[in-house]
Amino acid sequence: MLALLSVVVIYLLIDLFEELNYFITRKVSVFTVILYYAFSLPAAITLLYPVSLLLSVFVVYGQMTRHRELHALESAGVRAVRLFAPAIGVGLATVIVYLAGNELVTIPANAALADLRTYKIEKRAVAATRKQKDVFFTGESGRVYSIREYDSDGVMTGFSIEELGPDRRVKRRIDGESARYTDSAWVGYNVTVRVFNEDGSERLARADTMPLEGITETPSDFVRIYRPVQETSTRDLLHYIGKMRRAGEDVADEEVEFHYRFSYSLIGIIVVMLGLPLSVRMRRGGVMFGLGLGLLVSFLYWGAIQLSRAYGTSHVISPAMAAWLPNILFGAVAVGLLLHVRQ
């Protein structure tokens, strides 16, 4: 807890100094600044708790090694691996704490922080959701909507709907003067439907009133605001990935984020397992050496995560592999080091 408090305070102070000009030019009150960093705190803890765990391991077990306490315990018949149990237990506990805390605290705090910056500090107008103009929307099954004006009551004015096939070619196009959502279905007015066959021919149909069959989107889908992935709950993120995938869109970035949320939960236990064997091998250098080595390992781990994520979003490797590869590599190293700790 002391290590976590230290690194988080340093991190937030550095961020405060960088943001001072941002706050001063917008005449932000002290209370708003405090609120800003209250919302920033969960994300800072999520980012830095692996570093604090590693630093703690080096300080505690490094000091025990330096002052020959481990030798005294080993002489009494206590194995070094047995002494690792408390740290490993804390590392395992962070898995559950992270999964619950990220979903219940960190993600809502990220959304609240974004709203605070946008509407409170930068004083941008809240977007109206009743009527929207020039709506471009990607639906399921490859449907792409272009709507001149949309009313949240379920009325489209001047709309065009294109249904795309797997090869991204237009299979059907629906153009209409207006459409209304009635009795759980869309009804179009002054509608023209074009169906494009594979042989290049076209089938045309016109009607003053026509049920828009196969259109599954509801009025709420058009007014839903999709936040950035770091502000979206895991359930909503999974729903968004499925929806965009059915529409034929590239969702590699979102898929990497989805898998990363579960893989990141294991970082705590992995860094503890890395730090334990390294800390008991230290013979000199003391606390400062342990702090430096702990930071070095943490930055290497973080760099591997960012590199792997970049490969995943660019389709070099699968999104699941991109999220789990750093854990696999560093976990294998940690297990190997633990197996070679003297008994």
Q: What share of the chain is helix, strand, coil (3-state, %, to 5)?
A: 60, 20, 20
Same domain, 305 and 263: yes
Each residue's pLDDT tens digit, 269-300: 999 998 888 887 765 555 666 667 777 887 88
Which is nearest to 4 in space by CA: 69, 55, 78, 39? 55
Each residue's pLDDT tens digit, 37-60: 999 999 999 999 998 998 888 888
Greater model confidence, 68 or 258: 258
Residue 235 lies in a domain: no
Residue 45 lies in a domain: yes
Q: pLDDT value at position 33?
A: 95
Whether residue 160 contacts residue 173, with contact meaning beta carbons closer than 8 Å, is answered with yes
Q: Stretch 193-206: mean pLDDT, rounded?
A: 86
Same domain, 29 and 88: yes
Residue 210 lies in a domain: yes
Residue 230 lies in a domain: no
Each residue's pLDDT tens digit, 212-257: 888 888 887 776 656 788 888 888 888 778 777 766 677 888 899 9
State how many domains the chain has: 2
Greater model confidence, 165 or 12: 12
Same domain, 81 and 56: yes
Which is nearest to 205 in space by CA: 215, 195, 220? 195
Same domain, 210 and 294: no
Each residue's pLDDT tens digit, 112-137: 999 999 889 988 865 555 677 777 77
157, 189, 223 - which closes a domain: 223
| Phi-psi label, residue 158: left if phi above 0, alpha if psi -120 to 50, beta otherwise | left
Residue 234 lies in a domain: no
Taking the C-alpha atoms of residue 87 and residue 85, their distance in angstroms, rounded to an integer, is 6
Same domain, 6 and 114: yes
Q: Kindly indicate the confidence band of residue 108, based on its pLDDT and cuts at 50, 70 and 90.
A: very high
CB atoms within 10 A of CB 240: 18
Same domain, 54 and 98: yes
Same domain, 161 and 186: yes
171, 196, 223 - which closes a domain: 223
**Which percentage of the chain shows pLDDT scores above 90?**
41
Q: Kindly indicate the confidence band of residue 62, based on its pLDDT and cuts at 50, 70 and 90.
A: confident
Residue 257 lies in a domain: yes
Each residue's pLDDT tens digit, 179-191: 999 888 899 999 9
Q: What domain range is 147 assigned to?
A: 131-223
Same domain, 18 and 89: yes
Q: Stretch 320-326: mean pLDDT, rounded?
A: 93
Q: Stretch 194-205: mean pLDDT, rounded?
A: 86
Same domain, 78 and 19: yes
Checking if the pLDDT of 95 tops 80, the result is yes
Q: Stretch 315-333: mean pLDDT, rounded?
A: 92
Residue 219 lies in a domain: yes
Residue 80 lies in a domain: yes
Same domain, 47 and 181: no
Same domain, 6 and 104: yes
176, 191, 223 - which closes a domain: 223
Same domain, 18 and 86: yes
Q: pLDDT value at position 124?
A: 80
